[in-house]
Amino acid sequence: MLEDMKKLEQTWRWYGPEDPVSLQDIKQAGATGIVTALHHIPHGEVWPANEIAERKRVIEEAGFRWSVVESVPVHEAIKTRSEQAEYYIDNYKQSLKNLASCGVKTVCYNFMPVLDWTRTQLELELKDGSKALYFNWTDLAVFDLFILKRKNAEKDYSEKIKLEAKKRFETYTEEKLQELQYNILMGIPGEKNIDINELNKSIAVYAKIGAEGLRQNLLYFLQSIADVCEENGILMTIHPDDPPYSILGLPRIASSLEDYKYITEGVNKKFNGVCFCTGSLGAGNAHLLPEMFDELKERIYFVHLRNVKKDSEGNFYEADHLDGDVNMYEVVKRITAENQKRETAIPFRPDHGHQMLDDLNKITNPGYSAIGRLRGLAELRGLELGILGN
């Protein structure tokens, strides 16, 4: 019977007290868990136990559980394994200990070089008037070839894209070019944005490290924190690269099933898990997601549900949660089946959402307005209940 079936934990990403979407708003959306981080603490610094406890108090007094930390950022010195790597790994381990002492034990993180998720447009207007996040290869080439002016960048684009990029650059106003640069370099809300000089220096560093070097640095990081995670019951979940292919010459190492097998088998311990993001992975090979979940399910501790639509050139926009290239029914069916085997429900959140209705007139964090995610959560909740009832 339906009442005997275990439901997924419905969570919501909240950027803290400065988030335009309040905890009261989230309560009305029906989520019970909060996904958040101490975004005001600079990357690499220790998260003090008292600040963690205070954030947890605020969340719990509002009637929620702090379900997942997203994220404790991995400092660039760790990703590049520079001479300061050990210092920042020690800080990271202390932050994990402090989180565990407060009862927060599921941590989402990524190992993307320099940039977090990357889009070229933050307000693509759809046919219904709502707005979505968009990634376009030609606009990326405009930035790469004519703004960033990365060495040998032309080798990464087809002749067709290079020709179109040149045409666009010549017609784009200075304001349009600044907007494009802002979109691509935008950081996580509440954290520091990247600048052109910093990006160029990092690209040169990662050119020497390469994909294989970055993989080895990730395994070294995981091996270094393994004891702390196992002693404190911490579950680490690595978020896939977004988009799941190399951009701006930066290597990507968490973009495919093969990548995830390398990571989970490279440090083959329970704490070393996966954040299964259908949007990020779906921008690569959406049709493979059900198979990917089946292969990785025992290590999946956190789920982002989001959909994308991609064209023949690989450009994509973020679609409605149930209407895109990802077969959300097949994915959620597998997640709900796996959830029945767990002692603790798998947390998921509606990842991103269209800016729509009243939110069109508000200042919101790109992808994280209230109403679009509320719609997504409602649709996903209904999908889960329909699957459980069959």
Give catalytic status of residue 287 as yes or no: no
DSSP readout, 130-145?
Answer: -EEEEE-HHHHHHIII
Of the candidates 122, 78, 7, which has an alpha carbon nearest to the alpha carbon of residue 381?
7
Q: 172 falls in which pLDDT band (50, 70, 90)?
A: very high
The answer to whether 134 is a known catalytic residue is no
Catalytic residue flag (residue 239)? yes
Q: Is 368 a catalytic residue?
A: yes
Q: Is the peptide bond before 71 cis (omega within 30 degrees of 0)?
A: yes
Spatial CA neighbour of 114 closest among 189, 178, 197, 179: 197
How far from 129 is each of 324, 357, 358, CA to CA, in Å?
A: 17, 9, 12
The catalytic position among 144, 259, 351, 359 is 351
Q: Which of 239, 259, 275, 320 is catalytic?
A: 239
For residue 186, name the pLDDT band (cuts at 50, 70, 90).
confident
**Active-site residue among 108, 229, 260, 352?**
352
Is the per-residue pLDDT at 1 higher than 60?
no
Q: Which residues of 120-149 are buried (b: 16+ CB within 10 A; e: fewer)?
A: bbbebebeeebbbbbbbbbbbbbbbbbbbe
pLDDT score of 349 = 98
Q: What local confidence, expressed as pLDDT, does residue 195 receive?
A: 84
**pLDDT tens string 238-275:** 999 999 999 999 999 999 999 999 999 999 999 999 99
Which pLDDT belongs to residue 2?
60
Of 75, 304, 321, 354, which is the active-site residue? 304
Sorted by where each starts, the structural domains of the chain and their CATH numbers stand as: 9-117+210-311+319-388 (3.20.20.150)
Q: What is the pLDDT of residues 292-344, one digit of tens each?
A: 999 999 999 999 999 999 999 999 999 999 999 999 999 999 999 999 999 99
Is 43 a known active-site residue?
no
CA atoms of 383 and 333, how far apart (whole Å): 9
- Is the pLDDT at 187 greater than 80, yes or no? no
| Per-residue model confidence as pLDDT tens digits over 4-37 | 689 999 999 999 999 999 999 999 999 999 999 9
CB 230 within 8 A of CB 269: yes
C-alpha distances out from residue 51 to 56, 57, 95, Å: 9, 10, 11
Tens of pLDDT, residues 126-148: 999 999 999 999 999 999 999 99
Q: Which of 277, 301, 317, 321 is catalytic?
A: 277
352 is catalytic: yes
The pLDDT confidence band at residue 194, using thresholds 50, 70 and 90, is confident
pLDDT of residue 191: 73
**Percent with pLDDT over 70 in the chain:** 99
Please determine, for residue 3, whether its predicted confidence score (pLDDT) is greater than 70: no
